[in-house]
Amino acid sequence: MNKNVTRALWAGLLCLLALAPFVVGTVEISAFQKVVYLSVAVMSLNVLTGFNGQASIGHSAFMGIAAYFTALAVQSHGWSYWAALPASILVAALVGALAGVPALRIRGMNLALVTLGLGMVFPQLPIRFTEETGGTQGMPVDEPLAAPAFLNVSDVAWRYWVLLALAALVFWLVRNFRASRVGRAVIAIRDQPIAAHTAGVNVAATKIAVFAVSAGMAGLAGWMFTVANQFVSPSDFTVLVSINLLLGMAIGGSGTLAGPVIGAVFLHYIPEAVNGTGIDPVLTPALYGLILILVVYFLPGGAAGGLAQLSARFAASRRSPDEPGQAPPSTPRLTSSTSHP
Amino acid sequence: MPRLSVEELELSFGGIRALNKLSFAVAEGELCALVGPNGAGKSSVFNCITGLYRPSAGRVVFDGRDLLRLPAHRVAAQGVARTFQNLALFPRLTVLENVLLGGHLNERPGPLACALHLPRHRRAERALRAQADEVLALTGLESLAGNPASGLPYGTLKRVELARALMSRPRLLLLDEPAAGLPHGEVGELGDLIARIRAELGISIVLVEHHMGMVMSISDKVVVLNLGRRICEGTPEEVSRDPEVIAAYLGEAA
Ligand SMILES: Nc1ncnc2c1ncn2[C@@H]1O[C@H](COP(=O)(O)OP(=O)(O)OP(=O)(O)O)[C@@H](O)[C@H]1O
Ligand SMILES: [Mg+2]
């Protein structure tokens, strides 16, 4: 698609979303908030897994660490949300960097298992420290992120705008990074680590840095979670949440820019839609599974990949017939399957 | 002083001695061919030079510096670039992006400059783009810059890999069987391209290749390996007359 058209579309979408509080009610805005922090969470996973090829089933833990950090800082220690913002991101990023160290030695399934361990351990921590965190009961945060008085807008609208602005910022950063020297190196490591290494990419350092950045982004989603809900509990950050993020990434399109946003919309609205049809909600996971299988089978690039193909086809059909259109690429193997170079 | 000198390299895999006290040297601007039967250890030499394999003994001295203590990305920083016997491209990047990655160390805006789209990043990206355009023109890939690297013909992909290696503006270029798998008509063209690269850029090249016609016509020097040992070294004419070479290699393989 034309670069300017894409840019205009995104800007238009952002404007529409920003105007939403004037049009729709509080219930819808709460739902939008959830989609926004889910977008950031799926984007964080996409940077690690989609772009860099490192698997994680532990992103719920990075989110949870930052969400609990924020809740404790604001509720028990009198911090402002704004002070907790950089601090909670930093804490999540630090834990992410530590988690990235074993990822240098192990890969694929085993890395997934290590992060799975992280995801499983995290919900136990608040229970272990029940006195401070309320344990399984969860922990409410009394103070809201209040709108500045001079703006004269509702707190709900203000929170939504803050979340939306931060998410848009993250999206822009990811987009810039994708089209840069560092982004290319990150993707090169995913596709051909040995070739990347001999081309001068410090593979080990990059992988740890990506782990830290991704965890920090998940931490931002965690901060957003606490801002939006003013409540945290261990059940908000179970492994199931991580798996949902993976699902959102796969369905939206892993390794794409728009995919995580589409995935987040899916994650929030499909269960709602299922409820609406009167199907037993117990069947939602089965439905997810079915959709996932269909997407992996028919749309390996996810929804975003499918859209890109469609628009490429559209552009090609509008071109004069003698000009070669960029057919959607088939993917022959570029790399040998032997393990040594 | 030679640009590259490989001294007494020893490398084993289990019981297999892949390299056995292997030595050879490459002068500045020289095109040195490394030939030998399958399993002779040619790719292993490249893997030792570029820091992917750790030989148990020996030295690899490049411009007076021992490369064996450096990790692969630091070897690249010294000015060594290579291609792989089996293609190792980044399939989901475009041809241009593959080539740009070869220039990873040419310009070095950090992650923050990149993510924030700072002027420093934009300047670097423009400079890289100009360098990539030159390399794409040299390798005849201009018209394919925007194509995804997957789905192109094998011979083209081999040239993309060559372009990626050239992008780093190396002082030593290691080519591992660049003509393997090419249709017969393209082999001569590739030989011309390699000769031109050497002439125009004045870099040292080590060429591993089974196509004897190409080796004999463009090399200054030929080093013949068998079972990890150097069995002969000399000009193409000298080597092709050597009885041991004829017995060990040309006799059975050609
Ligand atoms: N990673 C590895 N693990 C085990 N053995 C290896 C490895 N790499 C090389 N070898 C062995 O070392 C020897 C030399 O292999 P090498 O690939 O260097 O040969 P080559 O001269 O490049 O051969 P070809 O012409 O087939 O590419 C062979 O016996 C090979 O099996
Ligand atoms: Mg080989």
Give the integer Cα–Cα distance in Å for B67 and B60: 6
Q: What is the pLDDT of residues B55-67, one digit of tens each?
A: 999 999 999 999 9
Inside any domain, residue B141: yes
Expressed in angstroms and rounded, the spacing between residue B47 Cα and the centre of ligand 2 is: 10
Inside any domain, residue A4: no
Give the integer Cα–Cα distance in Å for A318 and A297: 29
Inside any domain, residue B180: yes
Inside any domain, residue A266: yes
Q: What is the pLDDT of residues A263-287, one digit of tens each?
A: 999 999 988 887 778 777 777 778 8
Asked if residue A222 lies in contact with residue A65, where contact means CB atoms within 8 angstroms, the answer is yes
Confidence band of B246 (pLDDT split at 50, 70, 90): confident
**ipTM of the complex in this document:** 0.94
Asked if residue B57 lies in contact with residue B48, where contact means CB atoms within 8 angstroms, the answer is no
Residue with the larger pLDDT of the pair A4 and A91: A91
Inside any domain, residue A324: no
CB contact A200 to B (< 8 Å): yes
Give the integer Cα–Cα distance in Å for B116 and B139: 33
Q: State the smallest CA–CA distance between residue B114 and chain A in angstroms.
A: 5
In a 3-state reduction of DSSP, which class is residue A38? helix
Q: Do B101 and A194 touch (CB under 8 A)?
A: no
Nearest CA to ligand 1 atom 16: B41
Inside any domain, residue B86: no
DSSP class per residue in A121-153: HTTHHHHHTHHHH-GGG-EE--S--PPPGGG--
Inside any domain, residue A323: no
Identity at B184, one-letter amino acid code: H
pTM of model > 0.95: no
Same domain for B72 and B175? Answer: yes
Same domain for B13 and B48? Answer: yes
Domain boundary among B115, B149, B168: B168
CB contact A197 to B (< 8 Å): yes
Same domain for B163 and B62? Answer: no
Domains: count for chain A: 1
Instruction: Name the residue of B42, B45, B83 to mutate for ligand 1: max ligand atoms within 8 A of Cβ.
Output: B42
User: Crossing angle, helix A81-100 and helix A59-77, to 10 degrees?
Assistant: 150
Q: State the smallest CA–CA distance between residue B70 and chain A in angstroms.
A: 11
Model pLDDT, residue A106: 77
Domains: count for chain B: 2
Query: Percent of chain A at pLDDT above 90?
Result: 62
Expressed in angstroms and rounded, the spacing between residue A210 Cα and the centre of ligand 1 is: 33
Burial (CB < 10 A; 0-12, 13-18, 19+), residue B228, is buried
Q: State the smallest CA–CA distance between residue A9 and chain B in angstroms.
A: 20
Which helix (H) or strand (E) segment is A34 a member of?
helix A26-45
Evaluate if residue A209 carries a pLDDT over 50: yes
Collect all residues with Cβ–Cβ distance below 8 Å to A19 and sequence separation of at least 6.
none
Collect all residues with Cβ–Cβ distance below 8 Å to A140 and sequence separation of at least 6.
A75, A134, A230, A231
Q: What is the pLDDT of residues A157-176, one digit of tens each?
A: 999 999 999 999 999 999 99
Same domain for B157 and B174? Answer: no
Mean pLDDT, residues A139-158: 89
Which helix (H) or strand (E) segment is A73 a member of?
helix A59-77
Same domain for B162 and B176? Answer: no
CB contact A97 to B (< 8 Å): no
Q: What is the pLDDT of residues B120-152, one digit of tens each?
A: 999 999 999 999 999 999 999 999 999 999 889
Inside any domain, residue A325: no
Q: What is the pLDDT of residues B197-241, one digit of tens each?
A: 999 999 999 999 999 999 999 999 999 999 999 999 999 999 988
3-state secondary structure A146-205: CCCHHHCCCHHHHHHHHHHHHHHHHHHHHHHHHCCHHHHHHHHHHHCHHHHHHCCCCHHH
Inside any domain, residue A336: no
Q: What is the pLDDT of residues B148-199, one digit of tens each?
A: 998 899 999 999 999 999 999 999 999 999 999 898 888 999 999 999 999 9
Expressed in angstroms and rounded, the spacing between residue B27 Cα and the centre of ligand 1 is: 26
Q: State the smallest CA–CA distance between residue B227 and chain A in angstroms.
A: 19
Domain boundary among B137, B168, B199: B168
Q: How many helices (H) and strands (E) does chain B have?
A: 11, 10
What are the tokens at A285?
């996971």
CB contact A8 to B (< 8 Å): no
Most A-contacting residue of B101, B107, B123, B154 (CB-CB within 10 A), to test interface: B101
Which of A129-133, B43-47, B244-248 has the lowest average pLDDT?
A: B244-248
Inside any domain, residue A247: yes
Expressed as residue numbers, the domain containing B65 is 1-79+170-254
B143-163 b/e (C-beta count within 10 Å ≥ 16 → b): ebbebbbbbbeebbbbbbbbb
Give the integer Cα–Cα distance in Å for A288 and B9: 56
Same domain for B181 and B232? Answer: yes
Model pLDDT, residue B68: 94
Nearest CA to ligand 1 atom 3: B13
Inside any domain, residue B88: no
Q: Do B115 and A180 touch (CB under 8 A)?
A: yes
Evaluate if residue A322 carries a pLDDT over 50: no
Same domain for B182 and B244? Answer: yes
Nearest residue in chain B measured CA to CA from A179: B114
In a 3-state reduction of DSSP, which class is residue B181? coil
Same domain for B5 and B72? Answer: yes
Measured between beta carbons, which residues in chain B are less than 8 angstroms from residue A332? 150-151
Confidence band of A333 (pLDDT split at 50, 70, 90): very low
Evaluate if residue A338 carries a pLDDT over 80: no
Domain boundary among B126, B148, B168: B168
Same domain for B244 and B174? Answer: yes
Same domain for B66 and B185? Answer: yes
Q: Is the dihedral of CA B37, B40, B41, B42 positive or negative?
A: negative
Same domain for B73 and B117? Answer: no
Inside any domain, residue B222: yes
Closest CA to A188 of A27, A56, A20, A335: A335
B57-62 sheet: strands from edge to edge: B16-26, B4-13, B57-62, B65-66
Confidence band of A306 (pLDDT split at 50, 70, 90): confident
Confidence band of A340 (pLDDT split at 50, 70, 90): low
Model pLDDT, residue B250: 52
Expressed as residue numbers, the domain containing A204 is 24-318
Q: What does pLDDT average to over chain A?
A: 88
Expressed in angstroms and rounded, the spacing between residue A247 Cα and the centre of ligand 1 is: 41
Q: What is the pLDDT of residues A88-139, one digit of tens each?
A: 999 999 999 998 888 777 777 778 888 999 999 999 999 999 888 999 999 9
Same domain for B177 and B140? Answer: no
